[in-house]
Amino acid sequence: MSEASAPTSKRPGLAVWLPLGLFAGFLALVFVGLYWPADREVSSAFIGKPLPAFDLPPATDERPGLATKVFEQGGKPRLLNVFASWCVPCAVESPQLAVLAKQGVEIDGVAIRDRKEDVARFLGQYGNPFARIGKDDLSQVQLAIGSSGVPETFVVDGKGIIRYQHIGDIRPEDVPLILRKLAEAAGGGE
């Protein structure tokens, strides 16, 4: 201890400022945390990997169910939209899905924990851009592709590889990004 206290007695000035310095550092940390909060979105670690095998029954009488083989037929890249009739942002993104569908994008849906009558009501109210809709009552497909909420939209290429994940509702300004990701997936390049 005698060695440690010797320099402080010689130069007390520096040691005195140490607590204040620590406090300032702490304050800086608090403000960094306040103004740049950590990203709370959990992105899928399954991007670049093939869709896991699944075969879901139809969620509505208007459309067939959804199975992995649809994505592996070597066609155009498709969108896999994870949604639910009880999800408010899913209703908000429906006009954007309609725009994409109108441009020839093929969209398949997975309805999470949903009843047939609710899906039918939702599609009646907000339009039906889907080619197929699978009914995922136990969130099994959702868990298998690393999706952590609704809505989420995955770009899946013609070989059934997941290329891109969009978390949250697709806003009008996101449509060009989705189209670009679809084009990239069609090109087969990264």
Exactly one of 146, 153, 161, 178 binds another protein (CB under 8 A); that residue is: 146
Cβ-based nearer residue to another protein, 39 or 173: 39
Using CB under 8 A, which of the segments 36-44, 65-73, 96-104, 172-180 binds another protein? 36-44
The pair of three-digit structure tokens given for residue 105, joined into one six-digit string:
């994008």
CB of 13 vs another protein, minimal distance in Å? 27
The pair of three-digit structure tokens given for residue 159, joined into one six-digit string:
């070989």
Among candidates 61, 99, 60, which has minimal Cα distance to 79? 99
Peptide bond connecting 172 to the previous residue in cis, omega within 30 degrees of 0? no
CB of 3 vs another protein, minimal distance in Å? 11
Measure the CA dihedral 135/139/144/150, to 10°: 90
Cβ-based nearer residue to another protein, 47 or 131: 47
Q: How many positions of this chain bind another protein (CB under 8 A)?
A: 26
Is the Cβ–Cβ distance between 91 and 83 less than 8 Å? no
Phi first, then psi: give them for residue 147, nearest 5 degrees: -95, 135
**54 touching another protein, by CB under 8 A:** no
Cβ-based nearer residue to another protein, 95 or 149: 149
Exactly one of 81, 142, 153, 165 binds another protein (CB under 8 A); that residue is: 142
Strands of the chain (E only): list them. 55-56, 66-67, 78-83, 106-112, 130-136, 152-156, 162-167
The order of strands in the sheet holding 162-167 is: 130-136, 106-112, 78-83, 152-156, 162-167
State which of positions 108-127 bind another protein (CB under 8 A): 112-115, 118
Is the Cβ–Cβ distance between 70 and 185 less than 8 Å? no
Exactly one of 40, 61, 74, 102 binds another protein (CB under 8 A); that residue is: 40
Using CB under 8 A, which of the segments 25-33, 43-51, 94-102, 168-176 binds another protein? 43-51
CB of 142 vs another protein, minimal distance in Å? 8
Residues making contact with another protein (CB under 8 A): 40, 42-46, 84, 86-88, 112-115, 118, 137-140, 142-146, 148-149
